[in-house]
Structure formats: structure tokens, C-alpha cells
Chains A and B, each alone.
Chain A
Amino acid sequence: SQQGEEDPQALSIQEGENATMNCSYKTSINNLQWYRQNSGRGLVHLILIRSNEREKHSGRLRVTLDTSKKSSSLLITASRAADTASYFCATDEGTSGSRLTFGEGTQLTVNP
């Protein structure tokens, strides 16, 4: 198992439905971040949640963090076809504050 495992690996839903992706990690972290990547493109930062936070919202995104279970979830509400992308969690463990360890990612497909 690797730091930042995600499930499911692939998720296919209909437009308007909610999408939930989960991420688990193994070590202590400073923060956990979620990124989005469209096929063949760079990463777009979605949201950062610090280790002392439990929940955070940004628009249609809701992120939770459970440090006791070393897990996080990303919920996208009222999904749109344009949300189709790969979603990665990344954990920041160290003192550098920028050395991220990425999960394997969840490929989300939102069908119109």
C-alpha cells in the first residue's frame, strides 16, 4: 500500500448526481490537498485542508479529514459533465511544506 491511496479508482455517474472520492494515508501530515487533472494536462489545486481541520467547503466541493482514521473524502455535489477528470489527493508531511505525496487518483466520468 502507498501513502495516499484513493478509492474508487474509477467512478462513473450521471450529471446532477453527487460524487464521493476517498483517500487514505499512512503517516502524520501537515495538510492534505486535492487536485484535479484533465487528461494530458497539468494539475489544478482544488482545496487544502489542514491537519487541525475536519471539514472544508469550496463551492460545490466538500472535503473532510479524519486524522484518527488517516482518511479524507472529496464530495462534488450536483456534478456536471465538465467535472470529468482525474482527482488526486496529496499529503504534505514534512517541514518543506511543498513536498507532496500523491495518491493513485480517481478517474471521474460524469455522463450528460
Chain B
Amino acid sequence: GAVVSQHPSWVICKSGTSVKIECRSLDFQATTMFWYRQFPKQSLMLMATSNEGSKATYEQGVEKDKFLINHASLTLSTLTVTSAHPEDSSFYICSAREEELFFGEGSRLTVL
């Protein structure tokens, strides 16, 4: 089946630095990808919809300057957490749709 790959799986960074997470659709093209955030023992919360060739659509309450999304090609979307702080520590998951929605394995960000 279709595969969505995320990289890195784990990242630890210092407070104030920026971290980039990649989401790739490996064997299909995705004009739209979705970024979710999941805190421990909680559900997934949609952060933004990434649109190839245009600006991302952010959910209410999500800071677009904090979470930069770039969907530069039909197989790659990136999420950059800028000036990360400990409260940004979370599990970030992307998804992309072929006929059904496929999810990446997630990226665990820990900000020290």
C-alpha cells in the first residue's frame, strides 16, 4: 500500500533553535498533506493543511509564524518549528491521501 514517510523519527533540540520535519509520500503524489500534533495519551489535533504550490491553511489557534509549512513538491511537505520551546515538545504526525489517508510514523520532538 501507499507509504508516507517522516524524518526524523526522534529529535532533541535546545530551546530557541528551529527544527525541520519532513513528510514524504513515497509512491504517490499528494497535492494535500496534513500535519497533526499529539500530546501524550491524547488524541491527534489537526494543525494545518499543506497545499502544494500554495500557502498552508492553519487551524484556529495554530501560529503560522511558529509552525512554518512548505509544500514545495507533490511528494514532500516540511514542518519547521521555529524558535522551539519546551512546550513545543510533542509527537508530530503527517498524513497524505491517495484513495485513503495514510499516516507517517510520526516525529517525536523534545525541546530541552
A-to-B contact residues, CB < 8 Å: 4, 33, 35, 40-45, 48, 88, 96-105, 107
Contact partners of B6 in chain A: CB under 8 A? 42
Q: Is the CB of B101 within 8 A of A96?
A: no
Instruction: From A40, A98, A101, give the contact of B32 (CB < 8 A).
Output: A98
State whether the Cβ of B103 lies closer than 8 Å to any Cβ in chain A: yes
Number of A-B contacts (CB under 8 A): 52
State whether the Cβ of B93 lies closer than 8 Å to any Cβ in chain A: yes
Contact partners of B74 in chain A: CB under 8 A? none
Q: Is the CB of B34 within 8 A of A98?
A: yes
Q: Is the CB of B44 within 8 A of A88?
A: yes
**Bound complex: CA of A26 vs CA of B49, how far in Å?**
22
Count residues on chain B whose CB falls below 8 Å from chain A CBs.
Answer: 24
Contact partners of A44 in chain B: CB under 8 A? 103
B17 to chain A, nearest CB (A): 23
**Bound complex: CA of A33 vs CA of B102, how far in Å?**
12
Q: Is the CB of A98 within 8 A of B101?
A: yes
State whether the Cβ of B60 lies closer than 8 Å to any Cβ in chain A: no
Q: Is the CB of A43 within 8 A of B103?
A: yes
Q: Is the CB of B105 within 8 A of A41?
A: yes
5 smallest CB-CB distances across A and B, nearest first, come from A42-B105, A43-B103, A98-B97, A42-B103, A102-B44
- Whether A99 touches B43, Cβ cut-off 8 Å, given contacts A42-B106, A45-B101, is no
Instruction: From A33, A43, A107, give the contact of B93 (CB < 8 A).
Output: A43
Q: Is the CB of B43 within 8 A of A40?
A: no
Contact partners of A4 in chain B: CB under 8 A? 43
Contact partners of A88 in chain B: CB under 8 A? 43-44
A73 to chain B, nearest CB (A): 18
State whether the Cβ of B56 lies closer than 8 Å to any Cβ in chain A: no
State whether the Cβ of B65 lies closer than 8 Å to any Cβ in chain A: no
Q: Is the CB of A99 within 8 A of B49?
A: yes
State whether the Cβ of B91 lies closer than 8 Å to any Cβ in chain A: yes
What are 10 A-B pairs at a CB distance below 8 A? A35-B103, A40-B91, A40-B106, A42-B6, A45-B100, A98-B34, A99-B34, A100-B46, A102-B36, A105-B43
Contact partners of A43 in chain B: CB under 8 A? 44, 93, 95, 103
